[in-house]
Amino acid sequence: MLVLPPRRRQVPTWPEYLADRATRVQHPLLEGYFAAGCPAPDTPIGEVPLVAMDMETTGLDPRRHAIVSIGLVPFSLARIRLADRHYWVVRPPRPLNRQSVTLHRITHAEVEHAPDLEAILPALFEALAGRLVVVHYRQIERPFLDSAVQARLGEGLRFPVIDTMSLEARRHRQSVLARLRRWMGRPPVSIRLHNSRERYGLPPYQGHHALVDALATAELLQAQIAAHYSPDTPVGELWS
């Protein structure tokens, strides 16, 4: 397939950013997280410890909506270790509306007895430290976590992510073939998690559960690297 070379854009130098934050950050939890750092951009993806993350939220706007659950699955290109998984349900500061209840299948009762996000932050940062986060659609997890941590600890955070949806978009939205399809009036190829997985022969999973989606994302990245990249691909070509 024809692929345009990745557009040159100003990629933030993530190791520098993290090292800088580590020296200036106030809260010890965040300090520990930043100090763990991240790999150099030329590190082969096959050697990078990864963690797939997925969140269910009450909506799409980090300023108005809140996190309901978080799923984490640590993995590497070789293996996804389910035994080390994490899953938390947290109580949002604002009550759930009906739509998000049906979407996530998390009930009011579950949420009512759940802790505030602050209570799980130590465990969350421990699981994230030293691992590169992998998400499907980066506009959710990073901004929501930034906003929620900002509200609780007084300081926000940013971190590099590999976005499996962006990787799909590179092939199916930005390629010459994709442009040709668009020009011919064909609907664009779906790059949603479920449809992306289908293209790699991955089984359908019940979506909209943070841990299942995190697992599904981890599998998708393994498939994408196997199909289009290699374990030697520098991580800097993949993260954003």
Partner 1 sequence: MEVELLEIRQHMGRFPPFDGISDDLLDAVAGEVEVAYYKAGTDILLLDREIHELGYIRSGAVEVYRRNGDLYNRLGEGDIFGHFSLLRNHRVRFPARALEDTLIYFIPEALFQRLCEEDEHFADFVELERPRLESAVEQHKKQNDMMITRVRKLLTRYPVMVEATTSVQEAARLVGDFGASAVLVLDEPGDNPRYTFRDSEERAWQVRGILTDSDFRRLVAQGRGPETPVGEIVGDRLVAIQSDESVHEAMLTMLRNNIHHLPVMHRRHPVGIVHLSDIIRYETHSSLYLVSNIFNQSTTEGLAKLAPDVRAAFVRMVEDGADSRMIGSALSTIGRSFTRRLLELAEEALGPPPVAYCFMAMGSMARNEQSIVTDQDNALVLADDFDPDRHDDYFLEMARIVSDGLHACGYTYCTGDIMATNSRWRQPLSVWKGYFRDWIANPTPERLLHSSIFFDLDVVHGENRFVEQLQDLVAEQAPQSPRFLAAMGRNALNRTPPLGFFRTFVMEKDGKHNNSINLKRRGTAPLTDLIRVHALACGSRAQNSFERLDDIDRTQLLAPGVSDKLRYALEFLAMARIRHQVIDLQHERSPDNNIEPENVSDAERHTLKDAFQVLSNAQKFLKFRYPMPAAGRPRPG
By CB under 8 A, residue 56 contacts partner 1: no
* Distance (Å, whole) CA 144 – CA 199: 29
Helix axes 138-153, 28-36, angle to 10 degrees: 140
Of 26, 98, 201, 232, which one interacts with partner 1 (CB under 8 A)?
201
By CB under 8 A, residue 222 contacts partner 1: yes
By CB under 8 A, residue 1 contacts partner 1: no
- Residue 180 corresponds to which tokens in the numbers above? 């040709």
Which residue number, 163 or 219, has a Cβ lying nearer to partner 1? 219
By CB under 8 A, residue 4 contacts partner 1: no
**CB of 221: closest distance to partner 1 in angstroms?**
9
Question: Candidates 16-24, 129-137, 174-182, 214-222 — which segment interacts with partner 1 by CB under 8 A?
Answer: 214-222
Q: Name residue, tokens 């963690």.
A: 51
By CB under 8 A, residue 223 contacts partner 1: yes
**CB of 26: closest distance to partner 1 in angstroms?**
35
Of 3, 4, 40, 226, which one interacts with partner 1 (CB under 8 A)?
226
Tell me if 23 sits within 8 A of 209, measured CB to CB: no
Beta bridge partners of 161: 133
CA neighbours closer than 13 Å in the CB half-sphere of residue 48: 32
Tell me if 68 sits within 8 A of 97, measured CB to CB: no
- Residue 81 corresponds to which tokens in the numbers above? 């270790």
By CB under 8 A, residue 211 contacts partner 1: yes
By CB under 8 A, residue 82 contacts partner 1: yes
By CB under 8 A, residue 184 contacts partner 1: no
Q: Name residue, tokens 């993290």.
A: 18
* Distance (Å, whole) CA 108 – CA 114: 10
Q: Name residue, tokens 């759930």.
A: 96
Q: Where along the sequence are the contacts to partner 1 (CB under 8 A)?
A: 71, 75, 78-83, 85, 87, 200-203, 205-206, 209-212, 215, 218-219, 222-223, 226-227
